[in-house]
Structure 1
Amino acid sequence: MTHKPQGNKIEKRKNGGYDEEYKVQAVKLAKNLGSAKAAAEELQIPVNTLYGWIQKVKTAELDIGCGERSLEESQNIAEENQQLRKRIKALEKENKRLSEINEFLRNE
């Protein structure tokens, strides 16, 4: 019994990339098997490629669907988003301050 994503034979786009749905199914397979290495071997793709897709899921760059993330993964993403919002706010404040200084110096 094969675990390859449904209907895909490692379909590549013309630019050399993999189809998004294939990536999602590959990550789900790795999760189900409990091993990225085993899934990569089964799919005959480089294990580092699969690790990259798994990392993208962890950082929410690749969406594997509602309910597919663990509670810990969801909490990590939410925490990171909160930290990023704070960082953006601080950078915007700093940008405003520097703009005001620049404007003041131009008028001198």
Structure 2
Amino acid sequence: MEEKGVSENKQYENEYKVQAVKLAKKIGAVKAAAEELQIPVNTLYGWIQKVKTAELDIGCGERSPEEFQNIAEENKQLRKRIKALEKENKRLSEINEFLRNE
């Protein structure tokens, strides 16, 4: 028996999250969608944020042009960061090899 005032973090199935986000987009109001589904509005906002950061996939054709732009920009920045880290890794490997041969 659960005590009043004590809440557990409820776990939702991925498909439920996807359908909830789609409902919010369809009706254009996150608060109304959360009320309809009887889930906390902050939970639904969290799922929407995960869609924007590609942590939650709601399927092809469901993302806005802005979301695609954000993902493309993030990918560009990540590729640049990977390239810089690979360059730094190579430099450190060369230094390490040089010091071993001293």
Q: TM-score range by the shorter chain?
A: 0.7 to 0.9
State, as a whole percentage, how many aligned pairs show the same letter. Answer: 88
The residue number in structure 2 matching 1:20 is 14
Distance 1:49 1:18 in 2: 10
Alignment of 1:1-108 (within 5 A): 16-108=10-102
Distance 2:87 2:57 in 1: 32
Give the count of matched residue pairs.
94
User: How much has 1:66 moved relative to structure 2?
Assistant: 0.9
C-alpha offsets along residues 75-98 of structure 1, whole Å, 9 cap, x if unaligned?
A: 221121111111111111111111
Distance 1:63 1:77 in 2: 12
Secondary structure of the structure 2 residue equivalent to 1:61: coil
Q: Which has the larger radius of gyration?
A: 2
So what's the TM-score if we normalise by structure 1? 0.78
- Structure 2: state its 5+ residue gaps: 1-8
- Cα RMSD of the aligned pairs, angstroms, is 1.6
C-alpha offsets along residues 28-84 of structure 1, whole Å, 9 cap, x if unaligned?
A: 111112121111111111111111110110011111111111112112211211111
So what's the TM-score if we normalise by structure 2? 0.82
